[in-house]
Amino acid sequence: MPETRSRSKAAAMNAPNGHKAHLNGSAKELTYEDGFLKGFFNRTLMPLFLMVFSPNLCILLWYTAARCDGSFMTLGEHLSSKGLVSIWLNDINIFRPVVIYTILGYMVFAVILQMTLPGPYTYGPVTPKGNTPLYTDNGFSCYLVTMFSFVVLTHCLKLYGLTPTIVYDHFGDFLGTLTVFSHVLCVFLTIKGLVAPSSSDSGSSGNPIFDYYWGTELYPRVLGVDIKVFTNCRFGMTIWPLLCLIFAIKSYEQYGFIDSMWVSCFLQMTYFTKFFWWESGYMRTIDIMVDRAGFYICWGCLCFIPGVYASVSLYMVNHPVKLGTFWSLVIVTCGSLAILINYLADWQKQEVRDTDGQCLIWGKKPEVIRAKYTVEADSKPRESLLLVSGYWGIARHFHYVPELALAFAWTVPGLFENLMLYVYFIFLFFLLTHRTFRDDIKCGLKYQKYWTEYCKRVPFKMIPGIF
């Protein structure tokens, strides 16, 4: 599991005295947060809105699928007759023992795999405080072992007349219990980041609401477990494929065929397999190198992924469509192509850096900008390669186009009867568009004139000539 290597061990590993002085004093916080997340709107209003709205969105999506046949019109009628509070109080049981045991059982299993499965070491990017996180790259084996264990467990349960689809039957309770659990974790992490941080990349913003929402630590570790690897990868990104499989089994139990569900499930499972194959690359993304372990990322991965990201499959349980071989193949082919392009774009960026530009991109020597930068902790000059050719020469975030195309491909098998099916796609559209702005600001602050040069050479964010 990740360790944090610092230029100065005292500055990173043990929440040193110097760092505590920083917490008590007025030293500068992360430049990204200063540059992007500032002002009353970003630091207080938006966090409050998201912390209230998002858990309700998850519950209402489940309620729409389970009680309103996927229709927002019917949901509107229910809401006006019984109200939102009644749904939380009467339709959700956060204390159901089978739900609590299943969640805890899975978490223990996931932590054991995270801690014990071997893998090569891989480094994350150097942090603003000059720490370099070290990870054990065991994501792919954790994923394979989990999927294999799920198949074995499903067969064992069958012998006793049981089925994993109990998760679907009590999915509202699962989301409710996970929400409570996540808040407990977030409270713990917020306090831990202030009183016993795992590294010097921590501290308060001075605003308790923002601290809770955004987190007080970049790389918290508890008993040797890296919390963000656990929440993002071992929980969120592993629960999502498990839910896809469980929902497909449920649909099959009910209807005896899984035509549209199969197409959607196949594309999603290919996407998860790709994700875990590339997991070390994920450790170099905004989620890990910028987002602190607070409500946004921890609650997001523990609840928003099962509640919103898996809502496509949840909806499809009761809305099977007979697509037929031709359309199934067309959608699977388009979706697979989107996965491939997205993967190759992520790969190009990584390969150029790993080989210091000594590789071929689309058969040619890559065009790069050797961008110099320093981190907040010291003035030591550092260098990163910005790729200007390949997919990174089309637009600065062109790879989001196949990501969106893929999300559409695994959604469209459910056809167009209800808007609920497209909530994930719509959310992703806004998330990725917003991310293009976030990343430009983050990279602009980090690389300054080198980023300006990249923006001149590659002027569009996502689609050349349009955006």
Ligand X SMILES: NC(=O)C1=CN([C@@H]2O[C@H](COP(=O)(O)OP(=O)(O)OC[C@H]3O[C@@H](n4cnc5c(N)ncnc54)[C@H](OP(=O)(O)O)[C@@H]3O)[C@@H](O)[C@H]2O)C=CC1
Ligand Y SMILES: CC(C)CCC[C@@H](C)[C@H]1CC[C@H]2C3=CC=C4C[C@@H](O)CC[C@]4(C)[C@H]3CC[C@]12C
Positions in the binding site for ligand X (CB under 6 A)? 125, 284-286, 342, 346, 349, 384, 386-387, 392, 399-400, 403, 428, 431-432, 435, 439, 442-443, 446
Task: Rank residues 172 and 390 by Cβ distance to ligand X and give the closer one.
Answer: 390
Say whether residue 287 binds ligand Y (CB under 6 A): yes
Instruction: Report the run of H or E that residue 242 belongs to, with start and end.
Output: helix 237-255
Own/partner long-range contacts of 34-41 (Cβ < 8 Å, ≥24 apart): 35/441, 35/442, 35/444, 35/445, 36/438, 36/441, 36/442, 37/210, 37/214
Q: Minimum CB separation from ligand X for residue 286, in Å?
A: 4
**Pair of tokens at residue 351:** 């390969």
Q: Minimum CB separation from ligand X for residue 350, in Å?
A: 8
Radius of gyration of the chain measured on its C-alpha atoms: 23
Q: Which residue is nearest to ligand Y (CB)?
A: 300
Dihedral Cα 417, 419, 424, 425, nearest 10 deg = 80
Q: Minimum CB separation from ligand X for residue 145, in Å?
A: 23
Task: Rank residues 125 and 220 by Cβ distance to ligand X and give the closer one.
Answer: 125
Say whether residue 275 binds ligand Y (CB under 6 A): yes
Query: Which residues 6+ apart lie within 8 Å of 167 measured at CB?
Result: 102, 174, 243, 246
C-alpha span between 186 and 194 (Å, rounded)? 13
Query: Which residues 6+ apart lie within 8 Å of 58 measured at CB?
Result: 175, 179, 303, 304, 306, 307, 308
Task: Rank residues 158 and 434 by Cβ distance to ligand X and give the closer one.
Answer: 434
Q: Minimum CB separation from ligand Y for residue 274, in Å?
A: 7
Task: Rank residues 75 and 458 by Cβ distance to ligand X and give the closer one.
Answer: 458
Q: Using the CB atoms, write b or e for 271-283: b if 16+ within 10 Å.
A: bbbbbbebbbebb
Q: Which does 387 bind (CB under 5 to 8 A by kind): ligand X, ligand Y, none?
A: ligand X
Residues listed for the chain: 467
Task: Rank residues 390 and 413 by Cβ distance to ligand X and give the closer one.
Answer: 390
Angstrom distances, CA of residue 288 to CA of 74, 127, 220, 230, 429: 39, 10, 11, 12, 21
Query: Which of 296, 315, 343, 410 touches ligand Y by CB under 6 A?
Result: 296
Task: Rank residues 93 and 384 by Cβ distance to ligand X and give the closer one.
Answer: 384
C-alpha span between 289 and 217 (Å, rounded)? 11
Angstrom distances, CA of residue 412 to CA of 27, 323, 424: 50, 10, 12
Say whether residue 54 binds ligand Y (CB under 6 A): yes
Q: Which does 171 bind (CB under 5 to 8 A by kind): ligand X, ligand Y, none?
A: none
Q: Which does 382 bind (CB under 5 to 8 A by kind): ligand X, ligand Y, none?
A: none
Task: Rank residues 251 and 342 by Cβ distance to ligand Y and give the closer one.
Answer: 342
Phi and psi angles of residue 396, each rounded to the nearest 5 degrees, phi first: -70, -20
Q: Minimum CB separation from ligand X for residue 331, in Å?
A: 18
Q: Which does 349 bind (CB under 5 to 8 A by kind): ligand X, ligand Y, none?
A: ligand X
Q: Which does 214 bind (CB under 5 to 8 A by kind): ligand X, ligand Y, none?
A: none
Instruction: Report the run of H or E that residue 6 belongs to, with start and end.
Output: strand 3-6
C-alpha span between 194 and 188 (Å, rounded)? 10
Q: Minimum CB separation from ligand X for residue 151, in Å?
A: 25
Say whether residue 282 binds ligand Y (CB under 6 A): yes
- 248 close to 314: Cβ distance less than 8 angstroms: no
Q: Which does 50 bind (CB under 5 to 8 A by kind): ligand Y, ligand X, none?
A: ligand Y
Query: Which of 1, 46, 48, 50 touches ligand Y by CB under 6 A?
Result: 50
Q: Which residue is nearest to ligand X (CB)?
A: 285
Q: DSSP class of residue 208?
A: H
**Pair of tokens at residue 417:** 């009867």
The footprint of ligand Y on residues 300-359 (CB under 6 A) is 300-301, 304-305
Task: Rank residues 54 and 198 by Cβ distance to ligand Y and give the closer one.
Answer: 54
Task: Rank residues 298 and 323 by Cβ distance to ligand Y and give the closer one.
Answer: 298
C-alpha span between 404 and 426 (Å, rounded)? 9
The CA-based angle 131-137-142, given to 5 degrees, is 135
Q: Which does 237 bind (CB under 5 to 8 A by kind): ligand X, ligand Y, none?
A: ligand Y
Q: Minimum CB separation from ligand Y for residue 53, in Å?
A: 8
Q: Minimum CB separation from ligand Y for residue 55, in Å?
A: 9
50: left (phi over 0), alpha (psi -120 to 50) or beta: alpha
Task: Rank residues 53 and 101 by Cβ distance to ligand X and give the closer one.
Answer: 53
Q: Minimum CB separation from ligand X for residue 49, in Å?
A: 20
Q: Which does 386 bind (CB under 5 to 8 A by kind): ligand Y, ligand X, none?
A: ligand X
Say whether residue 237 binds ligand Y (CB under 6 A): yes
**Site of interaction with ligand Y (CB under 6 A):** 50, 54, 232, 237, 275, 282, 287, 296, 300-301, 304-305
